[in-house]
């Protein structure tokens, strides 16, 4: 099933890129494997996927113990300070950084294992209370500056989640806002390259608006079974 799902997904990506005048080689698929076991991850790897995203530190740790660096790990969920060390130990890129406190802890933990941790800042473009992320421009610019001062942090871009709505214009605006913000930051002398935006329901719009990483779960693995005990993976 994963192979077929992926064939469909890749075709949609190709078509969208063609329409948008983009090269699909510039878009990395982050396969969001939360709630799916290592067997599914290995099957997806056989189909050519290299990058996998998890949103809970404990689940990432468990899968990392099994697979180590057989795949590239991304952390995309809300990060608690006391879990930072586990995530730094396993993730190539942390997409969901949204506070000075977190950045400092990541820097500290990365320094301990002599790693330069790549991160993205999570931006709340939706205005939704339930979503995390930075909102005000001052706050964002301060954090960008802070990152540039820390030796074991490499800030490479921004991440967002679009609001939960069927209104395509609202979703598009959220992605466009993220792109504009990246440009604004780069105009101040920084060099952010990544835009992590777009999921199963809205990746086409995200690609049109400049996504360099799309985070896709159900379109690859199928529907998640939230009643399943994830420790049984």
Ligand X SMILES: *Cc1c(COP(=O)(O)O)cnc(C)c1O
Rule CB under 6 A: which residues touch ligand X?
32, 34, 55, 76-77, 161, 199-201, 215-219
Q: What is the DSSP letter of 134?
A: B
> Toward ligand X, which CB reaches closer, 32 or 143?
32
- CA-to-CA distance for 68 and 62, rounded, in angstroms? 10
Helix ranges (H only) for 92-136 are 100-112
> Toward ligand X, which CB reaches closer, 94 or 106?
94
At its nearest, how many Å lie between ligand X and the CB of residue 108? Answer: 24
> Toward ligand X, which CB reaches closer, 152 or 200?
200
State the residue for tokens 């993205």: 120
- CA-to-CA distance for 194 and 232, rounded, in angstroms? 34
At its nearest, how many Å lie between ligand X and the CB of residue 136? Answer: 21
Measured at CB, which residue is nearest to ligand X?
217
At its nearest, how many Å lie between ligand X and the CB of residue 111? Answer: 27
State the residue for tokens 């992320």: 133
Half-sphere exposure of 34 (CA within 13 A, CB side): 18
> Toward ligand X, which CB reaches closer, 45 or 131?
131
At its nearest, how many Å lie between ligand X and the CB of residue 161? Answer: 6
- Of 177, 220, 214, which Cα lies nearest the Cα of 196? 214
> Toward ligand X, which CB reaches closer, 77 or 210?
77
At its nearest, how many Å lie between ligand X and the CB of residue 223? Answer: 8
CB 121 within 8 A of CB 112: no
Handedness of CA 125, 5, 93, 231 (dihedral sign): positive
């Amino acid at each position: 099933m994963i192979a077929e799902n992926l064939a469909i997904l890749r075709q949609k990506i190709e078509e969208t890129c063609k329409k948008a005048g983009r090269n699909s080689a510039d878009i990395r698929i982050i396969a969001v494997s939360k709630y799916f076991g290592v067997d599914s991850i290995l099957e997806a790897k056989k189909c050519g996927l290299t990058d996998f995203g998890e949103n809970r530190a404990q689940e990432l740790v468990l899968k990392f113990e099994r697979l180590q660096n057989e795949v590239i790990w991304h952390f995309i969920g809300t990060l608690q300070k006391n879990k930072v060390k586990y995530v730094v130990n396993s993730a190539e890129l942390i997409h969901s950084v949204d506070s000075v406190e977190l950045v400092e802890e990541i820097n500290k933990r990365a320094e301990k294992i002599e790693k330069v941790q790549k991160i993205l800042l999570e931006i709340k473009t939706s205005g939704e209370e339930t979503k995390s992320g930075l909102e005000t421009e001052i706050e964002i610019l301060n954090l960008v500056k802070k990152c540039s001062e820390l030796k074991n942090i490499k800030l490479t871009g921004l991440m967002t989640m679009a609001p939960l709505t069927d209104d395509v214009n609202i979703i598009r605006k959220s992605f466009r806002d993220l792109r504009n913000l990246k440009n604004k930051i780069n105009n101040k002398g920084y060099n952010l390259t990544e835009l992590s935006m777009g999921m199963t329901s809205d990746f086409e719009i995200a690609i049109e608006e400049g996504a360099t990483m799309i985070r896709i779960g159900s379109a690859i693995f199928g529907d998640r079974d939230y009643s399943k005990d994830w420790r049984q993976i």
